[in-house]
Structure 1
Amino acid sequence: MSDTSVGGSNGLAAALREQQQALTEQWMKLVFGDQEVEHSDQLTYRQLADHLPGIFEEICVVLESHNMRDQEGAIERNARQHGQWRWKQGYRIDELVRELDLFRQVLLMAIGDYAGAHPDFTRADEEHARLMTDEVVSFVTLASIREAVGERDRKIDEYTGMLERANYELTLRQKLISDLYETRMQITRRVAHDLRNFLNVFSTALQLASRSPAKRDTALGLANRQVADMATLVDEIVEYSKVLGDDSVLTVEAFDLVGLFDELMQSCRLATEAKGLKLVGQLDPSLGSVASNRLKVKQVALNLLSNAIKYTSSGEILLSITAVEGERWKLLVADTGTGIGVADQERVFEEFERAADDDIPGAGLGLAIVKELSRALEGDLRFESAKGRGSVFEITFPMVLVPKDSAPPR
């Protein structure tokens, strides 16, 4: 291109810079009055003209240099920012395209006005200036659209992720509701079954007493045993409801394991002797005071011990309290009872589940209570068992329990 053409382009660029504010206002008037750009009515003057100065300047630089390639990086950055903001401001893609097309029209009219006022600005110069302006505005439009579409896709991905998480949570809640319903049906069936047995045996006892006065003591004994069984059933249900409904902050206190051990041994001695079982106790002499919830620890131990006694007809019951590595201590209860078969080991800690083919009274909540309390006390619960060979339950507790809802000391 000739020097005159270069000078003409430089003059055009300078004239456009001088008219920048007037041209911007002209463009904004067109945008505000265009029905195809509906969202422009919701923008302030500053919001509408946010990235226009940067784009305007890049066009002037391209007109001066006759080279768009060197300015592509700067043009793309401004265009992407423009597209991003327009998307956040609620623009549709067609509104974004229309707005930039109006900007193109304003620039092309300004080039035509400049060419008409400057005879030295040749027809070729004008065509070249129009071509360069078209190229830059097209590039800006494409980059803005890509950014707006990218923003839209990111938002769609975000909403899709939220929807998937919500759907997953809904599925979990539906499963929880289904499980709760099934649990309630289980307890209904279990209690109804035990009540029916209670009434049948109690009715038999009454008939026996009325028909044969000589067997009245036998009938009363039968009735009393049945009443005791029903009391055990009710006690287990009440105890489990208290465990599940306890949402208070866990109280932690220091207590002596030796005293707890002696108390547990005394509590179980009569029950084991009544069944002809041997009660064996082992206490680690290195253990002293621990910090936990004494009442809940005792509840765990008594549930394990009563369960062991209930399912053991001969042999012994072992209660062991020992220290383990890592500032922890272990409660172990072992028995020589019926044991738990492999098929039943995965479900014995669930609500209202017991080992198969047993007629021992109870709601099947003892181990469920142990599981819930062990979790609250941050105990690691494990067990080993085999059908006909007894069971070993062990729970490892921290020496010092820190309640989750309490703040750590400073």
Structure 2
Amino acid sequence: MSDTPAGGMSGLVAALRHRQTELTERWMTLVFGDSEVEHADQLTYRQLADHLPSIFDEICSVLESPGAVDSARSLEADARLHGQWRLQQGYRIDELVRELDAFRQVLLSAIGEYASTHDDLSRIDEEHARLTTDEVLSFVTLTSIREAVSERDRKIDEYTGMLEHANHELTLRQKLISELYETRMQITRRVAHDLRNFLNVFSTALQLAARSPTRRDTALALANRQIGDMATLVDEMVEYSKVLNDDSILTVESVDLIALYDELMQSSRVAAEAKGLTLVGHLDAGLSAVVSNRLKVKQVALNLLSNAIKYTTSGEIALSISVAPGDRWRLRVADTGVGIGEADQERVFEEFERAAADDIPGAGLGLAIVKELSRALDGELRFQSSKGYGSVFEVTFPLVLEPKSSSTP
């Protein structure tokens, strides 16, 4: 900005301050009449004027004291605020430039009017006033534009980030949908395969009974076995669908572990003894009750026990309920069954995965059900197994489960 002394411009500055309202209205008339400043028509008087009085006052201060540091700082702050405000009001950059240029015209015209009626303002002072006003408004315009562009870029970056996040979420959802579709197709293929096998054997049994009446009892036994296996398949699918679709509020209660332990032992003993297996159990004497959801804990235990019995042909099944570190308790089921090979251990908890021969009935959903129920009960699930040496499954639960929605991740 020019460093020319203000000299006799005190009268000009006083006149400009006195005419501030009149000059502001003249500027507003120009802006409202400019068809290129479209957004001005959407603003109120106060919204349009906003920082103009402050900028006007700073210009007068600069005319009085050229090069004043405080005035320059205030002018920059006002110009930046003006650029931010206009961007928020929807202004384009060209509209911002045009309205500030209209302000320049009004001030330069006012300076000329004063000079033409006051001989005490010399030609040099008038040129200095015009040059200073022009420089100040160029500075205001440039600062306002820079601030508006910077704010616009910041918003673009913000929106871009939001779009990238939304796109990432959409990609994840699309992947989830694709995986869900593939899972459903896998369900269809698996169930169709198992049902076809059941029906083929059932048909063979009927044909055997028709061709050889003497072998009718054998045929009926074979048919009954297929019916039982089909019922097992359907029951597992129904149970898993209930687990996945259970969005009710997870209720908690005081669970009598002694009573639950006795119930689990009694309900599993018949199935174990039917296969010639020994069922053994252990319950910590000091562990009598916990706060949890009794039904879901029972489902976890029964699925682990039935899975152990299913995949064990000789030896024993062991159920243990004991205290665990960190205010938790442990449910443990061990067997001497076929075990799980290292190659199959990564997928053992996935839907429709079975680390055993197809001659063992079931849909491969037992451990998937255990995983979902354990998650709902804030349980930590782990297992150890090796091919031919049996398996050990453990779930540790909190002694006191905090109530929450069962659909909460």
TM-score calculated relative to the size of structure 2: 0.95
Aligned equivalents of 1:149, 1:287: Cα separation in 2:
68
Distance 1:94 1:100 in 2: 10
Q: Is the 8 A contact 1:63 1:129 kept in 2?
A: yes
In structure 1, the partner of 2:196 is: 196
Counterpart of 1:101? 101
Partner residue in 2 for 1:168: 168
Counterpart of 2:348?
A: 348
Paired residues of 1:280 and 1:318 also in contact (CA < 8 A): yes
SS in 2 for 1:345: helix
Query: Alignment partner of 1:355: what SS?
Result: coil
Q: CA deviation at 1:187?
A: 1.1
Q: CA deviation at 1:5?
A: 6.0
- How far apart are 1:104 and its partner, in Å? 0.6
The answer for the alignment partner of 1:292 in structure 2 is: 292
Which stretch shifts more, 269-278 or 304-313?
Answer: 269-278
Question: Structure 1 stretch 27-36 or stretch 110-119: which is displaced more?
Answer: 110-119
Helix, strand or coil: the match of 1:346? helix
> What CA deviation, in whole Å up to 9, does each residue of 1:329-378 have, x standing for no partner?
11011111111222222222111122165431111111111111111111
Aligned-pair CA distance for 1:14: 1.1
Cα contact 2:278–2:315 (8 A) shared by 1:
yes
Task: Report matched runs for 1:147-158 at 5 Å.
Answer: 147-158=147-158
Q: Tell me, what secondary structure is at the counterpart of 2:254? A: strand
Instruction: Decide whether aligned partners of structure 1 residues 405 and 276 sit closer, same or farther in structure 2, where only a CA change above 3 A counts.
Output: closer
Q: Say if 1:337 and 1:389, in contact at 8 Å, map to a contact too.
A: yes
Q: 1:159 to 1:6 in 2, by over 3 A?
A: closer
Taking the aligned partners of 1:31 and 1:184, their CA distance within structure 2 comes to 64
> Is residue 111 of structure 2 the alignment partner of residue 139 of structure 1?
no
Q: 3-state SS of the aligned residue for 1:394?
A: strand
RMSD of the alignment, in Å?
1.5
| Equivalent residue runs for 1:7-406 within 5 Å | 7-67=7-67, 69-355=69-355, 357-405=357-405
Instruction: Indicate the percent of aligned positions where both proteins have the same amino acid.
Output: 77
- Quote the Cα distance in structure 2 between the aligned partners of 1:277 and 1:72: 93
- Name the aligned partner's letter for residue 14 of structure 1: A
Instruction: Provide the rounded CA distance (Å) in 1 between the counterparts of 2:82 and 2:96.
Output: 9
Please say if residues 68 and 136 of structure 1, whose CA atoms lie closer than 8 Å, have aligned partners that are also in contact.
no
Indicate conservation of the 8 Å contact 1:5/1:122, yes or no: no
The whole-number CA distance in structure 1 between the counterparts of 2:222 and 2:264 is: 29
Deviation at 1:70, TM superposition (A): 4.1
Q: Which moved more, 1:4-13 or 1:328-337?
A: 4-13
The one-character-per-residue Cα deviations of 1:76-117 (angstroms, maximum 9, x if unpaired) are 111111111101111000000110000011111111111112
Tell me, in whole angstroms, the C-alpha distance in 2 between the residues paired with 1:275 and 1:66. 103
CA distance in 2, matches of 1:10, 1:366: 93
Number of positions where the alignment pairs a residue of Structure 1 with one of Structure 2 = 403
Distance in 1, matches of 2:244 and 2:70, equals 70
Is the Cα–Cα contact under 8 Å of residues 344 and 356 in structure 1 kept in the other structure?
Answer: no
**Is the contact made by 2:7 and 2:125 (CA closer than 8 Å) also made in structure 1?**
no
Q: Do the aligned partners of residues 322 and 271 (structure 1) sit closer, same or farther apart at CA in structure 2, a change above 3 Å counting?
A: same
TM-score by length of 1: 0.95
Does structure 1 retain, via aligned residues, the 8 Å contact 2:258–2:288?
yes
